[in-house]
């Protein structure tokens, strides 16, 4: 009888340890999913147009939120209606054009999307055997028909914004 009682206590203790490990495992998995979902739904960094242009190499390939002037006719973002020095092309699919149709007019907007930068010219050096000693320079083709060096793709949000937000953001 004593041996049977001892065996049942051992089985009970093993079962309790197994249940604890299972509970701990489930808890760790749940916490992992919580962290993963909060990281993927994190807001992209807010930046103004000037910062986006000046930090284009660092922000290349990142999801950003920017407030800038939308030139709806040319599908471009620019710093202000008076300045066309730097332009960012906006790449929209047909479905996105339909979705954002009611907002598609020139003015200040907050736009969230993936920022891309093609890079700058790269000097490769003199052409070997060239009697005129010309230097080979590679220029990236750029985006869109205008050959823009910057663009926003995978756009998830376009909302109207005020010019004061563009300066303060």
Domain boundaries, the chain: 1-42, 46-168
Band of pLDDT at residue 21, cut at 50, 70 and 90: low
Q: Give residue 134's pLDDT.
A: 76
Q: Give residue 137's pLDDT.
A: 66
pLDDT(20) > 70: no
Residues forming beta bridges with residue 65, ordered by sequence position? 46, 112
State the distance between the two ends of the chain, measured CA to CA, in whole angstroms: 78
* pLDDT single digits (tens) 106-130: 889 999 999 998 876 566 667 777 7
Question: Of 31-45, 54-68, 87-101, 118-132, which gets the smallest average pLDDT?
Answer: 31-45
Rounded to the nearest integer, the mean pLDDT of the chain is 74
Q: Give residue 44's pLDDT.
A: 80
Distance CA 133, CA 47 (A): 44
Instruction: Provide the whole-model pTM.
Output: 0.60
CB atoms within 10 A of CB 99: 14
Nearest Cα neighbor of 52 from 157, 149, 143 is 149
Distance CA 97, CA 72 (A): 11
Q: Give residue 62's pLDDT.
A: 93
Q: Give residue 38's pLDDT.
A: 44
| Third-level CATH fold of 46-168 | OB fold (Dihydrolipoamide Acetyltransferase, E2P) (2.40.50)
Which alpha helices (H) appear in the chain, and where do they start and end? 2-40, 49-54, 56-59, 94-99, 163-168
């Amino acid at each position: 009888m004593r041996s049977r009682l001892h065996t049942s206590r051992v089985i009970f203790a093993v079962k309790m340890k197994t249940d604890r490990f299972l509970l701990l495992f489930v808890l760790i998995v749940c916490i992992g999913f919580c962290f993963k979902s909060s990281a993927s739904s994190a807001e992209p960094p807010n930046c103004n147009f000037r910062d986006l242009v000046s930090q284009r190499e660092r922000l290349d390939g990142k999801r950003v939120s920017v407030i800038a002037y939308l030139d709806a006719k040319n599908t471009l973002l620019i710093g202000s209606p008076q300045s066309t020095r730097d332009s960012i092309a906006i790449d929209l699919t047909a479905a996105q054009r339909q979705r954002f149709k009611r907002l598609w007019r020139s003015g200040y907007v907050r736009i969230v999307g993936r920022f891309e930068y093609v890079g700058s010219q790269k000097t490769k050096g003199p052409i070997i055997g060239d009697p005129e000693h010309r230097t080979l320079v590679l220029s990236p083709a750029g985006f869109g028909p205008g050959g823009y060096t910057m663009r926003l793709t995978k756009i998830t949000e376009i909302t109207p914004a005020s010019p004061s937000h563009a300066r303060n953001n």
